[in-house]
Chains A and B, each alone.
Chain A
Amino acid sequence: MLPSLLASMPMDNDWISFDVPSLIENFWSATFDGLTFGSIYALVALGYTLVYGVLNLINFAHSEVFIMGCFGVWFTLSALNFGPSAPHLGFWAIVGNLILALVVGMIVSALTAVIVERVAYRPLRRRNAPRLAFLITAIGVSFSIQYLLYLWRGPSPERALTMFHPTPIFDVFGTIIDSQQIVIVVAAVIMMIVIDLFISRSRTGRGIRAVAQDPDTATLMGVNKERIIMTTFIIGGILAGAAALFYTMKIPSGVQYNGGFILGIKAFAAAVLGGIGNVRGALVGGLLLGLIGNYGQILLGNSQWTDVVAFLVLVLVLILRPQGVLGSSLGRSKA
């Protein structure tokens, strides 16, 4: 027993090894998969970035806004008879069901975000609480929701759900891109573009940018700051709800009380990597983090390396460019 266990463990001198041929061989599949994960990070990252932009607050409870959306998606699909194997439904029936789950996920996440802002942050704002009070509250809310979910649903993941079996669509350099990857990346990018246009073109978007740059002056222009803050939480929630559907699609057994924690940290890291407060930065940061993690995992031959590599790169980028890849400002015309 013992010798075989030892044999299966890496020796002291080869706990780290670089498998370059494997990276070259799997480069494209790692790229496409990295972009898929990156899109999910990016959607969640936007919630961190928008709230940071208007309140200078890292909303640590955003990971729970996301996981609540996952539960919304899970309950909807379970009620629609989705289970461990994909249901035998026609194309349009699946599309309809997934859109329904998407909408429920968005509503649940947005509601969670609104409740968190009303119950936790707004009372602090009214009392001009110091920044640390906001930070501790954010962490407290995050844990509270996590353990409320634990008490309600228990420690183990929810039953796995398969939404549809990915079918090959394209063949790029000998690597198959499947329908699931395309759905996730295309949908996420469309949502990011819509949000970018909304913030740079619409009247409310202008209000968000004004509050981000100078809340008092924005108020003097007739902007209702409280309403802008609420809108920002709602947008972040909607995007987290969309991410929840895609995440559950990608990781069928990922719906769990603490399932938002690691993803939340990564999305936050993606927001900082791209430039916190910057909408396009969230997209760039998310995709970069997804790609780097995947390359690192294949190069080093073990999935535990994903996060080591991703966060080492994050630290390196921030040393060279502390304001993030695209710089941080929600205020700019090209937000």
Chain B
Amino acid sequence: MTLLELNNVSVHYGRIQAIKDMSFTVEEGEIVSLIGANGAGKTTTMKTISGLLNPSSGSIRFAGEDITKMKAHIRVVQGISQAPEGRGIFPGMTVMENLDMGAYGRKDRSGMAADIDRVFDLFPRLLERQKQLGGTMSGGEQQMLAIGRALMSNPKLLLLDEPSMGLAPQFIRQIFKIITEINSQGTTVLLVEQNANQALARAHRAFVLETGEITHSGTGKELLANPAIKEAYLGVG
């Protein structure tokens, strides 16, 4: 079943067009990666799906429903959750308060308790650091917190904007392993990355974004093997 569908979506910042007529789908249960260089429109795409930005034309459907005009805070309740670029940890809140923020729109206490157990299972480090202020944690720990917090709304679709940004290599491998695990537990993942290697290796399908347009698409393996992509994004000639 198609979970997310973008139809000819364009997004403008003032007069500048950041996304041009973009169309793609995410099927339920997939990991889909969007890769591209700085300024290709990756974050704009994510913000448009989560509702922080409004498309100037085109439509977005989620779980069969048109959400083009739906407000961002309602999309969270509908099942779209985003871990933003730069992690967006609330520095003055503790780890536990940050996680609670992820469940802000929820009222089902038993479901929330189950999800907090799930998050602590995935990230035992967060359990140890419950009372620490978010702003005092390392980059890797903050990324774990950002993903854990995004899971606290029990999303159908998890949006991850550059989860590997600024992390040491061993952390990057660990984060991607956990993303695969989250996906195997039944959460669909849409991932945006500059670190194309891991993003393509872990993805069922992937798209390459250049100056606001999709230029390549295929399975993760196909794109990994594509010479043009190897040269441009994988650092090998």
Contact = CB atoms under 8 A, between A and B. Distances in A.
Interface of A: 203, 206-207, 209-210, 213-214, 216-225, 329, 331-333
Interface stretch (B55-63, B73-81, B198-206): B73-81
Main secondary structure of the interface of A (DSSP, over half): helix
Nearest to A200: B97
Contacts of B51: 219
A203 B106 CA distance: 11
A32 B101 CA distance: 42
B93 A331 contact: yes
Contacts of B94: 333
11 contacts: A206-B100, A206-B104, A210-B90, A219-B51, A221-B73, A221-B102, A221-B149, A222-B105, A329-B92, A333-B97, A333-B133
A219 B52 contact: yes
B39 interface: no
Contacts of B100: 206
Given A216-B52, A220-B72, A209 B77 contact: no
A275 to B, nearest CB: 13
Interface of B: 50-52, 71-74, 76-77, 81-82, 84, 88, 90-94, 97, 100-102, 104-106, 133, 149, 153
Contact of A223 (B92, B104, B133, B149): B104
Contacts, number: 72
Nearest to A228: B73
A210 B73 contact: no
A125 to B, nearest CB: 14
A222 B84 contact: no
Contacts of A207: 104
A222 B73 CA distance: 4
A213 B98 CA distance: 12
A41 B171 CA distance: 51
Contacts of B93: 206, 209-210, 213, 331, 333
Contacts of A329: 92
B84 A217 contact: yes
Closest 5 CB pairs between A and B? A222-B105, A217-B88, A331-B92, A222-B76, A332-B92
Given A221-B73, A331-B90, A333-B93, 15 more contacts: A206-B104, A209-B92, A210-B104, A213-B91, A213-B92, A213-B93, A218-B101, A219-B51, A219-B73, A220-B50, A220-B81, A221-B153, A222-B104, A333-B94, A333-B97
A202 to B, nearest CB: 12
Contact of B76 (A203, A213, A221): A221
Contacts of A333: 92-94, 97, 133
B84 A216 contact: yes
B77 A222 contact: yes
A246 B79 CA distance: 48
Contacts of B133: 333
Contacts of B149: 221
B92 A220 contact: no
Nearest to B82: A220
A204 to B, nearest CB: 10
A224 B81 CA distance: 15
A56 to B, nearest CB: 16
